[in-house]
């Protein structure tokens, strides 16, 4: 039976790539609800293609412009999509703290959460994680680094055996820019990320390294680790996404080409790993890893 998916932020970068994964695995997934912001034209295209039963748009976007079985708007609509009874998995792909309430309500309804939104965990991690534990709900990370940690920790181990976690960072477009020149950089330069193709907010946050600070907080809540056991390291190639160090001195690392469809697909298909359409990593062709 196909898993039924609701997507918050369907017209954004992660939302569009989630739908690309659905396109690749049509026998596994059915889209039952979509929530978007103000991109009504793209949302209508998605409605026409995936035929969701429920759709929501942001406040300020006239719901009458969307032709779908049921169209809502605003915070109420976002929560309705997140808690739709038919949905098995809720993909939280919006940005900003507006995702907190719908994520919490989805957890309370027993939905599996594929979480790509940083602010929800950063602002309300204690509440969301505790509610998920209490209700036996899985929160599956979609961020590439946290997905990598999750996969590294999937090997059999005791919690006491984990020494530390290391998140990698590309360094962004200004990694080698002299400090004196940073005051004059442009938005266009900030948006030119060297390895990832992401939404505008995450791309700019990556350029300033603010994104990595948020990811450290995310890792603290998602993996129940104190901050002093979470490290970061610059890795320009974005091939190694995270490393987990164990008490015996061994280190398990997760390597993959920088393609968000991989962590999205793993969050949707866990614990299975069906073939994926993105490029496979050729370690011999890569030649070396830089840190």
CB 209 within 8 A of CB 215: no
Q: Tens digits of per-residue pLDDT, 30-41?
A: 999 999 999 999
Domains along the sequence of the chain with CATH = 3-142 (3.40.50.720), 146-267+280-286 (no CATH)
Q: Tens digits of per-residue pLDDT, 40-64?
A: 999 999 999 999 999 999 998 888 9
Q: Tokens in use for 260?
A: 């968000």
| pLDDT at residue 226, rounded to an integer | 97
Q: Tens digits of per-residue pLDDT, 49-102?
A: 999 999 999 998 888 999 999 999 999 999 999 999 999 999 999 989 999 999
Judge whether residue 197 has pLDDT over 80.
no
Q: Tens digits of per-residue pLDDT, 205-222?
A: 888 888 899 999 999 999
Judge whether residue 150 has pLDDT over 80.
yes
Judge whether residue 278 has pLDDT over 80.
no
Q: What are phi and psi of 245, to 5 degrees?
A: -100, 135
CB 107 within 8 A of CB 124: no
Helix (H/G/I), strand (E/B), else coil: 137 = coil
């Amino acid at each position: 039976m196909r898993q039924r998916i609701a997507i918050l932020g369907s017209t954004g970068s992660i939302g569009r790539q989630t739908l690309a994964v659905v396109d690749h695995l049509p026998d596994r997934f059915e889209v039952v609800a979509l929530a978007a912001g103000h991109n009504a034209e793209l949302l209508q295209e998605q409605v026409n293609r995936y035929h969701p039963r429920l759709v929501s748009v942001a406040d300020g976007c006239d719901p009458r412009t969307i032709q779908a079985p049921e169209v809502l708007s605003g915070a109420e609509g976002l929560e309705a999509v997140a808690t739709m009874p038919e949905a098995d998995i809720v993909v939280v792909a919006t940005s900003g703290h507006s995702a907190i309430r719908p994520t919490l309500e989805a957890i309370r309804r027993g939905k599996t959460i594929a979480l790509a939104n940083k602010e929800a965990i950063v602002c309300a991690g204690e509440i969301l994680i505790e509610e998920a534990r209490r209700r036996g709900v899985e929160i599956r990370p979609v961020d590439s680094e946290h997905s990598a940690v999750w996969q590294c920790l999937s090997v059999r181990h005791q919690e006491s055996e984990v020494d530390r976690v290391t998140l990698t960072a590309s360094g962004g477009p200004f990694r080698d820019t002299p400090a004196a020149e940073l005051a004059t950089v442009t938005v266009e330069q900030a948006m030119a990320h060297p390895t990832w193709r992401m939404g505008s907010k995450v791309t700019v946050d990556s350029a300033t390294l603010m994104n990595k600070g948020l990811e450290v907080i995310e890792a603290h809540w998602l993996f129940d680790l104190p901050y002093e056991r979470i490290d970061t390291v610059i890795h320009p190639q974005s091939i190694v996404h995270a490393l987990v160090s164990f008490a015996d001195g061994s280190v398990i690392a997760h390597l993959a080409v920088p393609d968000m469809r991989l962590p999205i697909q793993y969050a949707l298909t866990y614990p299975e790993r069906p073939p994926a359409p993105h490029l496979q990593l050729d370690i011999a062709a890569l030649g070396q890893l830089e840190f």
